[in-house]
Amino acid sequence: MENVNINSSNVYDGTLFGKLFLERNSVCEIRNSLFDGCFTGGSNCGAIAGYVCGEGDNSTLNVINCNLKIESTTYNTWWDGSRDNAYSKGGALAQYYTEANGSKVIFNGISAEVNLAGYNEYGYGSCVVGGLVGELKGNAGIYIYQCAVSGAITSSGYSGYAGGFIGKMVSCDVYKQLDSCVTATLYSRFNAYGYAYNAGGFLMALWEKKPDGYIKNSYFAGSSSTATAFIAKDRVGGNKLRIYNCYYDTSRLSNKVYHANHSCYEIYDTTFDCAAYTTGQMGMQSNFKGWDFDNIWVMGDKYPELRRNNFELPEDFINDSSGDYDSAIVRTVREYTSQEMYSQWEKIWNSNYSDEVKFNKILELAANYGITDPKEGLEFVVTSKQKRWAYNELISDDLYTSTNFLKFLDDGGRTLLVADGLIFNSEIKDWLDVGTYVESDYREFQNIKICCMTIWIQHQ
């Protein structure tokens, strides 16, 4: 549907849908539309829908070039003065849930002006509020591109969750955020703990599983005394979801932390080329490294602003082969290897190049990841029964394995690679004799041997 204009007051759930159920292989696309709603405080509300469920595999909700405006702040008061209204609120969706494979939610070119306040202060309740989605739950892929959230986001409860884009994310497979910004004021209160970091400039509360993906070329410039700059209350930890070329206005944020875990300790090694700038520095185009100010951004009075005039997604932004959409083995391998590297490899492998050109391009790609001694890595695997078993379990197709297994090696018991890919050196002939290192029942090593010999011959 497109060119829809809805302006409603005193409504529940959503201006367009109360509840939306997406069947197998279905696509719900909403384009070039305006949704403006004033909702009763007691409703789980979003400007588009209160609740969306991806019931069947490969369903997609695609929202393109839409302006959202939503207000929901009223509440009831208990005898002790504690406030209460609803569990979840979001600028677009209050809740999204799926257990189906390959389901996607795409927000592309969205401007959300929000005034949302969630209260669940009596007893042990919690509430989740997000600039686009209150709560995401299940194994979906979430894609946010050229989106902007402004206004005010408040969450207060025994557990209060407030996020610039997402209030709470549970078990999602993929999260990609590119060329997006939040200028909304964020406030969240945890009655239970009183921790310092109760809101996230982009994401608040990652639970159960860290998604594949990344956050790139985005900024947070909202005023907050309780938020971290990018991600707060990350219960999963680790550095799998990485943040590149992102910035925040340190003049408006009390907590000078990019990324914090559930106990409010900072998580390191997840941010790359990120910086905290003063308001004055945020207005200088030269400070935003790698950003496209010719096509995507334009410098405004204080901050970069989105042009929102081209909504074609970047070629590698939606990756259909990630998450539970793949086989169990591929999903496991992808969890322990570089998503960024895999996307580049996949693009080459699915191209129309000849096999020889593909092999050469894969070798060039591998060289960029600095592998110089694959033999040493393989010997490390062979000398450890536990890692040999893990390696056997994590193998997918031959070429994927031969170009990705080394990153698995370097991370101890969890991973098999120093970096993704292979680059062959002078020891390749000796290294190719894999059979001398492994027991015969590890048949997949023989597959790798054949594959690597083929690549080596092509490379000569």
- Phi first, then psi, for residue 222 (nearest 5°) are -85, 155
DSSP letter (8 states) at residue 32: S
pLDDT top residue among 383 and 337: 337
Q: Could you give the CA distance from residue 230 to residue 182 in angstroms, rounded to a whole number?
A: 10
Spatial distance between the Cα atoms of 63 and 232, rounded to a whole number of angstroms: 26
The pLDDT assigned to 215 comes to: 95
Is residue 194's pLDDT more than 70?
no
Q: Write out the two tokens for 84.
A: 């209460």
Q: pLDDT band at residue 315, thresholds of 50, 70 and 90?
A: confident
Model pLDDT for residues 36-63, shown as the tens digit of each residue = 998 877 778 999 999 999 998 999 999 9
Average pLDDT over the chain, rounded to an integer: 77
Task: Compute, in degrees rounded to 10, the torsion defined by CA atoms 167, 172, 173, 177.
Answer: -10
User: What is the per-residue pLDDT for 193?
Assistant: 55
pLDDT at residue 334, rounded to an integer:
45
For residues 281 and 274, the answer to whether their CB atoms sit within 8 Å is no
What is the radius of gyration, based on Cα positions, of the chain?
24
Closest Cα partner for 324 from 166, 141, 168, 143? 141
Give 315's DSSP letter.
Answer: T
Task: For residues 435-440, give the mean pLDDT.
Answer: 38
Nearest to 362 by CA among 240, 458, 431: 458
Q: Give the largest Cα separation in the chain, rounded.
A: 81
| Three-state DSSP state, 189 | strand
pLDDT in tens, 377-395: 333 333 333 443 444 444 4
Query: What does the pLDDT look like over 228-252, one tens digit per residue?
Result: 889 988 888 777 889 999 999 999 9
Render pLDDT for 149-189 as a digit per residue (tens, 0 to 9): 999 999 988 888 999 999 999 989 999 999 999 999 998 87
Cβ atoms within 10 Å of 130's Cβ, excluding its own: 37
Which of residues 235 and 423 earns the better pLDDT score?
Answer: 235
- Region 343-369 average pLDDT: 74
Q: Give the angle 116-252-149 at the CA atoms, nearest 5°.
A: 35
Q: Who wins on pLDDT, 85 or 422?
A: 85
Mean pLDDT of 290-313: 95
Q: What whole-number percentage of the chain has pLDDT above 90?
A: 43
User: What backbone torsions phi and psi does residue 208 show, to the nearest 5 degrees?
Assistant: 70, -45
- State the pLDDT at residue 209: 87
Distances (CA, A) of 419 to 122, 137, 287, 340, 377: 50, 31, 30, 11, 11
Alpha carbons 32 and 110: distance in angstroms, whole number? 10
Residue 132 has pLDDT above 90, yes or no: yes
